[in-house]
Chains A and B, each alone.
Chain A
Amino acid sequence: MIDGEEKLIAAAKQGDSASFSRLYHHYLPSIYRFIYMKVSSKHEAEDLSHEVFLSAWQNLPRYESRGFPFSSWLYKLARNRVIDYYRLAKPNVDLERAESLVAEGISVEAVIDNALEFETVRSALRTLSEDQQDVLILKFLEDCSHSEIAVALGKTEGSVRVIQHRALQQLKKLLSTHDGRETHPYIA
């Protein structure tokens, strides 16, 4: 959350583009990552991120916080946009080359031992249910608390914990099933 976020939101609601720009630059990486993990390419992630922030900008005058963080509203927009994306279009299942992932983030190389391994996990993640994907991404990529995730997804904290546990178990099962094969099934 940015300092003085409420003032920025109030100003952006009045059409102040500078205030919206600050919100945009702060939240774009999170929303982009959230979407990127759920679609097959960075181009699609960019397009959908653009649509999410465009919708946010256009509808901001009617936004009401109601005590929830601004990010939860953005995550809801992103979530709905990804659902629409899968509903309306046949997504391209071809994965980008694993090497390209390294070039997308400065710290990726330092953290990931193997970009291919990451791509394997990301591909397996996309086979989980929408809720399971959202919980894992928000929890482990965005470091959101269970209460924040609950607000963003419209669920209780308890159910978020259950979804997280089942998602991890499912993911482990998916990845362990194919351990030892020369070519991983989730890699194109």
Chain B
Amino acid sequence: MTEEKLIHILRSASGIEPSEETRHRLHRLILSTPQRPATFALATKAKLVEYMTLGFALGLASLLLVTFVSGPPLWQKFLPASNSSQALRAEVENIDFTIQLKEAKYYNESAQEVASLLGEIDHESPTSRDSGVDEMLEKIIF
């Protein structure tokens, strides 16, 4: 089959049409269906935005309600301790206090030890101290 003949056959089909009965039947069926409004897509978007706004508002309101009902401790859980000046000040004061107590304890203990050592030295006899020295000299020399 040549290309010309093929095209000729294809062109011959240009006379094909639906029957009048089909044409009118389809026409009636189509026009009995309502059109979709042009604003359908816009209306859908507007609804979506409306729902999102409502959801956001409800979420925010719930969060605020929970915050106020639960009181300040809830805020402190979410905030770092350094952000609270009161907490910081209390922490600093506690540190100084602890240091002062430790120093007092140290001085107290060391004073007691020194006093007891001095007491021991005073109570020891001079002969016992000399005999000890003599023993050490003998070891070194001999």
Interface residues of A (CB under 8 A from B): 13, 15, 17, 20-21, 24-25, 28-29, 32-33, 36-37, 42, 45-46, 49-50, 53-54, 57-62, 101, 104-108, 110-112, 117-118, 121-122, 125, 136-137, 140-143, 168, 171-172, 175-176, 179
Does any Cβ of A come within 8 Å of B139's Cβ? no
Known contacts A105-B17, A118-B9, A122-B13, A53 near B38 by CB under 8 Å: no
The answer to whether A28 touches B1, judged by C-beta atoms less than 8 angstroms apart, is: no
The answer to whether B27 touches A121, judged by C-beta atoms less than 8 angstroms apart, is: no
Contacts of B37 in A (CB 8 A): 61
Interface residues of B (CB under 8 A from A): 1-3, 6-7, 9-19, 22-23, 26-27, 29-31, 33-38, 40-41
The answer to whether B18 touches A46, judged by C-beta atoms less than 8 angstroms apart, is: yes
Closest to A140 in B: B10
Contacts of B6 in A (CB 8 A): 121, 168, 171-172, 175
The answer to whether A112 touches B1, judged by C-beta atoms less than 8 angstroms apart, is: no
Known contacts A21-B31, A58-B35, A32 near B17 by CB under 8 Å: yes
The answer to whether A106 touches B9, judged by C-beta atoms less than 8 angstroms apart, is: no
List the count of A-B residue pairs having beta carbons below 8 Å apart: 115
The answer to whether B15 touches A62, judged by C-beta atoms less than 8 angstroms apart, is: no
Contacts of B3 in A (CB 8 A): 168, 172
Known contacts A32-B16, A32-B18, A46-B26, A141 near B10 by CB under 8 Å: yes
In the complex, 22 of the A-B residue pairs with CB atoms within 8 angstroms, ordered by the A residue number, are A13-B38, A17-B31, A21-B27, A24-B27, A28-B18, A32-B17, A32-B18, A33-B16, A42-B18, A49-B26, A50-B30, A53-B30, A61-B36, A62-B36, A108-B12, A108-B13, A111-B15, A121-B6, A122-B13, A137-B10, A141-B10, A172-B2
